[in-house]
């Protein structure tokens, strides 16, 4: 089989039940001389992880175990620097030979190695990966280049929490909080993940459950303190005015200009919703507005910010669930958030 055809097939499906994983496929991946094999390894690892209820079910079937062992070996070859791959522009079927694109090979290898470790019951890959990064914050930033990759990796790491030393860069608690810092604790981003990524529901449920359990609560608090210390030691840039541009509407033009109304009907959860967008004939005027610079990224009292985010997320989810604008599969997140807030308040 052609590796490019395998990759296209894997990207079209949402479960391995629709794909025949056999020795021919594994042999094709093994014999692939192109860097396309790491894309196959990452996609295959994510599908196996998803089909195992994100690490809950044990992987016993021989084809899956053999595939995971191959994925682990291939990914570790890259993170250890034993295998060099070229940089090219990416498309759904592989890469072009144009070298202007950004290379995400290391990030794909990290995802594949961590997931295969999780499903095989190992926990050694992260030690080989750590030398590629200076801090946990750098790892979080690299993973955030792809939402599914980031969430899958965090979910696998959290499943291995008892096997990972809390002081390493790949500590799942510390890494998760760094990710929250990088998205500025924006509950809208989390809502978007919960709506668009299957793994997000499992990840955030496990995070909230872990943070509410007596045997893990202290580990999370210590991780938050380490994240606080990391950002407090970073040099802050002096706050300087910066130029922003804001679009100001012209009321006179709005009254007299012709307008076009676009109506879009779509499903939000189980409800059909129609949205309207109005476009006027004259563009609004652009004005220059002086605002204060936000300065350098920092996280002061990370745990406090996370508690506020959980409370806001819970309130928003409750309203969406009552209005049936999101699926019922998010109800466990609401219950886990309530339990987390009760535990934190006690």
Query: Which pLDDT tens digit goes with each residue over 121-141?
Result: 877 777 888 888 889 999 999
Distances (CA, A) of 228 to 177, 204, 215, 345: 10, 21, 22, 21
Tell me the per-residue pLDDT of 187-206, one tens digit each, with 9 for 90 and over: 999 999 999 999 999 999 99
Mean predicted lDDT score pLDDT of the chain? 81
> What is the rounded CA–CA span in Å between residue 160 and residue 174?
14
How far is the first Cα of the chain from the last one, in angstroms, to the nearest whole number?
Answer: 59
- Judge whether 296 lies within some domain: no
Query: What token pair was written down for 186?
Result: 């924006």
Residues 175 and 322 in one domain: no
Poorest-pLDDT segment among 7-16, 23-32, 129-138, 274-283: 274-283
Tell me the per-residue pLDDT of 22-43, one tens digit each, with 9 for 90 and over: 888 888 888 776 567 889 999 9
Tell me the per-residue pLDDT of 223-265, one tens digit each, with 9 for 90 and over: 999 999 998 876 554 444 445 545 555 555 455 556 677 788 8
Torsion angle (degrees, nearest 10) of CA 78, 84, 90, 92: -60
- Judge whether 298 lies within some domain: no
- pLDDT category at 92 given cuts 50, 70, 90 is very low
Residues 103 and 150 in one domain: yes
Using the 3D structure, point to which of 211, 233, 255 is the last residue of a domain.
233
Residues 14 and 153 in one domain: yes
- Judge whether 297 lies within some domain: no
Residues 73 and 165 in one domain: yes
- Judge whether 176 lies within some domain: yes
Residue 274 near residue 265, CB atoms below 8 Å: yes
Residues 193 and 63 in one domain: yes
pLDDT at 258: 61
Stronger pLDDT, 26 or 303, i.e. the higher one: 303
Residues 266 and 313 in one domain: no
Stronger pLDDT, 289 or 156, i.e. the higher one: 156
Tell me the per-residue pLDDT of 64-73, one tens digit each, with 9 for 90 and over: 888 999 999 9
- Give the structural domain span for 249: 241-291
Residues 38 and 82 in one domain: yes
Residues 86 and 228 in one domain: yes
Coil, strand or helix: which one is 13? coil
Interior angle at CA 39, CA 145 and CA 329, nearest 5: 60
Residues 213 and 261 in one domain: no
- Judge whether 197 lies within some domain: yes
Residues 254 and 337 in one domain: no
Say how many domains are in the chain.
3
Residue 259 near residue 278, CB atoms below 8 Å: yes
Residue 53 near residue 17, CB atoms below 8 Å: no
Indicate the pTM of the whole model. 0.77
**In the predicted structure, residue 295 carries a pLDDT above the cut 50:** no
Average pLDDT over residues 158-181: 93
Residues 199 and 264 in one domain: no
pLDDT at 294: 44
């Amino acid at each position: 089989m052609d590796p490019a055809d395998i990759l296209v097939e894997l990207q079209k499906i949402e479960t391995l039940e629709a794909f025949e994983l056999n020795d021919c496929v594994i042999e094709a991946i093994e014999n692939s001389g192109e860097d396309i094999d790491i894309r196959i390894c990452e996609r295959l690892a994510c599908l196996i992880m998803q089909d195992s209820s994100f690490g809950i079910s044990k992987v016993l079937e021989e084809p899956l175990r053999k595939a995971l062992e191959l994925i682990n070996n291939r990914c570790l070859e890259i993170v250890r620097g034993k295998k060099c791959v070229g940089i090219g522009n990416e498309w759904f079927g592989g890469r072009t030979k144009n070298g202007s694109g950004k290379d995400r090979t290391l990030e794909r290898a990290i995802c594949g190695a961590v997931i295969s470790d999780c499903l095989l019951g190992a926990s050694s890959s992260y030690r080989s990966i750590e030398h590629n990064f200076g801090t946990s914050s750098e790892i979080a930033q690299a993973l955030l280049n792809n939402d599914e990759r980031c969430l899958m990796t965090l979910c696998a790491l959290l499943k291995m929490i008892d096997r990972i030393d809390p002081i390493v860069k790949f500590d799942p608690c510390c890494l998760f909080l760094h990710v929250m810092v990088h998205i500025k604790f924006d509950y809208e981003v989390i809502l978007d993940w919960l709506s668009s990524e299957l793994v997000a529901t499992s990840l955030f449920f496990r995070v909230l459950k872990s943070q509410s359990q007596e045997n893990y609560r202290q580990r999370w608090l210590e991780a938050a303190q380490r994240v606080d210390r990391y950002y407090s030691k970073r040099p802050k840039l002096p706050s300087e005015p910066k130029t922003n541009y804001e679009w100001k509407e012209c009321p006179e033009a709005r009254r007299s200009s012709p307008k076009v109304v676009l109506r879009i009907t779509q499903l939000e959860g189980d409800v059909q919703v129609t949205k309207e967008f109005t476009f006027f004939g004259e563009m609004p005027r652009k004005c220059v507005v002086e605002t204060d610079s936000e300065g350098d990224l920092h996280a002061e009292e990370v745990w406090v910010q996370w508690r506020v985010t959980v409370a806001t997320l819970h309130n928003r989810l409750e309203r969406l669930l009552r209005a049936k604008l999101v699926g019922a599969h998010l109800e466990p997140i609401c219950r886990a958030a309530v339990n987390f807030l009760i535990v934190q308040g006690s």
